[in-house]
Structure 1
Amino acid sequence: MSTAHDPAGTPAGLPAGPRIVLYSDDVDVRAQVRLAVGSRLEHGAAEIEWLETATAPAVIAAVEAGGVDLLVLDGEADKVGGMGLARQLKEEVYDCPPALVITGRPQDAWLASWSNADASVSRPIDPFELQAAVASLVRSGSVAG
């Protein structure tokens, strides 16, 4: 599922919003992340373009296609976890976008570090912490859109 915005509908003078790939095999986790982060990184900013994926191949295809500003990966996803996927992408993709991994518990932060993730947030998801982490990672890189 992709929740896209129309760049032509962006208010005058604003660049297109960030494009964020959100990976989890659990639709409820994806909904929690979108709700916690919101539709914009700050008041008056362009809308976030969410590209929701439930499979690792879809994440890899999105990254290879380019134009992605951030990866938000569920470390607890079945089949291919977000931590392993982050490590694979960071090692195999030149100029890989920043990656934020959602871990199952705070004690798993070291695993997120192993995965070469740029940041991690643990469950239960704190909306303020997640939004701040996403905003920081998007601002630290240039918006690809």
Structure 2
Amino acid sequence: MSSTASVLLYSSDAGVRAQVRLAVGRRPAPDVPPVGFVECATLSAVLLTLETVPIDACVLDGEAVPAGGMGVCRQIKNEIFQCPPVLLLIGRPQDAWLADWSHADAVITLPPDPVEIAAALATLLRAMR
């Protein structure tokens, strides 16, 4: 991992992307590097980014349309060699079983709670060390 952790942030909603950036801040925890977000609004952008840019972790919006983050997570976990860990944002706690189906490494509900999302992302980034 470089001096800045690259985090792919996928959502078709610019407002959700802004909420995540604001909730995480520049550094999710003192013992992990500052984060730089690579924002994607489409599935094709996610796939291209993962093939061309070194990414340390992904944050995917399970409520994105037309390609939801759960399906995107399952696809990249099955298709991308050494796929980075994925934090999945779900709309309802009852959808946790779908998040498990998608092979997500961590799950939180929307809207993102700053403490919860920072802790979850920091855990994923620590695992990449």
CA distance in 1, matches of 2:103, 2:65: 20
- Asked whether the 8 Å contact 2:87–2:108 carries over to 1, the reply is yes
Which structure has the larger Rg over C-alpha atoms?
1
Structure 1 spans left out of the alignment, 5+ residues: 1-14
| Structure 2: runs of 5 or more not aligned | none
Confirm whether residue 138 of structure 1 aligns to residue 128 of structure 2.
Answer: no
User: Match for residue 94 of structure 2?
Assistant: 107
1:77 is aligned to 64
The 2-side partners of 1:45 and 1:70 are apart by 12
Aligned to 1:40: 27
Q: What whole-Å deviation, never above 9, does each CA across 1:83-119 have from its counterpart, x for those lacking one?
A: 0000000011110000111000111111111000101
Separation (CA, whole Å) in 2 of partners of 1:138 and 1:45: 7
**Alignment equivalent of 2:114, drawn from 101, 119, 127:** 127
By how many angstroms is 1:47 displaced? 2.8
Per the normalisation by structure 2, the TM-score is: 0.93
Identity fraction in percent: 49
CA drift of 1:63 comes to 0.8
RMSD: 1.4
Q: Does 1:18 align with 2:11?
A: no
Match of 2:51 in 1: 64
1:45 CA drift (Å)? 5.8
- Pair 1:91 & 2:86 matched: no
Instruction: Say whether the 8 Å CA contact 1:112–1:120 is kept in structure 2.
Output: yes
